[in-house]
Amino acid sequence: MRKFLLMTLFILLTAQIAAARTIVFAVDATWPPMEFIDANKHIVGYSIDYMKAAGKEAGFTPVFKNTAWDGIFAGLAGGEYDAICSSVSITEKRKKAMDFSIPYFKVRQALVVPISSNVKSLEDLKGKKVGAQIGTTGYFAIKKVKGIIPKSYDEIGLAMQDLINGRLAGVVCDDPVAANYALREKNFASKLKIAAIIEAGDEYYGIAVKKGNKEILDLINKGIKAVKEKGIEAKLKKKWFGQ
C-alpha cells in the first residue's frame, strides 16, 4: 500500500510539474511576419519562433492559441490563457493592467501609402482617412494628429486591402509589418511603399502576463535572456527579416 501511495504521489507531482511548464500564449495571428497563419494553417512567425526557442532554453512548452485582438487583453485578465505573445507594445497604460516580460523586439511605427503617392509624413494626410488595427500603437499615433480621419480595423490586412483599393490614403502599423506588405507580399509590394517612419520615442514588444503571475513571468524572462545571450535572436532576425 505504501509503495502504491508513493507511486501515485510521484505521478501526481510529475503531472503538476509538466502542467506548470506548459504556457498557453494568446496570439492574434494576423500580423506578418511577427505572427500569422501559413499555407498549412499553422501559426508561425518571428515571435512564435522566439517563444519556442525561449521555451527550449528555460524549460517550458509554449502552446499558441489564435485569438482576435479585440478582447485579447480581457481574455488574459479572465484566465483564458497564461500570456499574450502578439507584438504587444509595452506602454505605461498597459503596465497598470498587466505585467510584461523584458523586451524582445524594438519597433517603430511606419506610414504605408500607395506607391504613386507624394506623401512624406502623417501630417500630409490631414482631411483624409488613415487606417490601422484597432487598439494598437499605430491607431493611437493616427489619433494624435488633428485633422486626420482615423479608421480602425480588426485585422491589418483588411486595412492594407482598403489602401490598395483607394478607400484609404494611408495605413500606420509596426515597421516589420509595414515592410512585409510594402516589400515582400506579392499582392501588395508592387502597389505600396513606406512613406515615413513615425518617431515617437522607444517602443518595445514584450510578453504580457496577468498581474502578479511571477512564476510564468520568471520562466519567460529566463528564456528571453538566453535567446539574446546565445545569439539565437540574431539568427531569428536573419530568418524572418533578412539582412
Given a cut of 50, is residue 17 above it in pLDDT? Answer: no
Check whether residue 10 and residue 42 sit in a common domain: yes
- Averaged pLDDT score across all residues of the chain: 90
Domain that holds residue 119: 107-202
Higher pLDDT, 14 or 225: 225
Cα 40 to Cα 35, 67, 112, 230: the distances in Å are 14, 18, 28, 30
Check whether residue 233 and residue 158 sit in a common domain: no
Confidence of residue 15 (pLDDT cuts 50, 70, 90): very low
What does the pLDDT read at residue 194? 94
First to last CA, the chain: 63
Q: Do 92 and 10 belong together in one domain?
A: yes
Claim to verify: residue 54 and residue 150 sit in the same structural domain: no
Same domain? For 154 and 90 the reply is no
Between 5 and 172, where is the model more confident?
172
Give me the mean pLDDT over the 23-42 stretch.
95
% the chain with pLDDT above 90 = 81
User: Which residues are CB-contacts of 186 (< 8 A; sequence separation ≥ 6)?
Assistant: none
Bridge-partner residues for 62, per DSSP? 23
| 101 and 209 fall within a common domain | yes
pLDDT exceeds cutoff 50 at 14 = no
- Which has the higher per-residue pLDDT, 243 or 36? 36
- Do 97 and 213 share a structural domain? yes
Per-residue pLDDT tens over the stretch 118-149: 999 999 999 999 999 999 999 999 999 999 99
Burial class (CB in 10 A: 0-12, 13-18, 19+), 231: exposed
- pLDDT tens digits along 182-211: 888 888 989 999 999 987 778 899 999 999
Tally of structural domains, the chain = 2
pLDDT at 68: 95
Enter the pTM of the model: 0.77
Q: Are residues 11 and 84 in the same domain?
A: yes
Residues 190, 135, single domain; the answer is yes
- Identify the CA nearest to 207 among candidates 12, 21, 52: 52
pLDDT at 7: 53
pLDDT of residue 20: 47
Tell me, what CATH number does 42's domain have? 3.40.190.10
Residue 83 CA: distances (Å) to CA of 74, 202, 219, 227, 242: 12, 23, 12, 18, 28
Rounded Cα gap, residues 88 and 103, in angstroms: 10
Task: Say how far apart CA 147 and CA 223 lie, in whole Å.
Answer: 44
Whether the pLDDT of residue 19 is over 50: the answer is: no
pLDDT-derived band of residue 95, with 50, 70 and 90 as boundaries?
A: very high
Judgement on whether residues 195 and 133 belong to the same structural domain of the protein: yes
> Based on the domain organization, do 194 and 221 belong to the same domain?
no
Residue 104 pLDDT class (50, 70, 90 cuts): very high
Instruction: Report how far residue 28's alpha carbon sits from residue 53's, in angstroms, rounded to the nearest whole number.
Output: 19
Q: What is the pLDDT of residue 73?
A: 97
Asked if pLDDT for residue 4 goes beyond 70, the answer is: no
Specify whether 117 is located in the same domain as 99: no
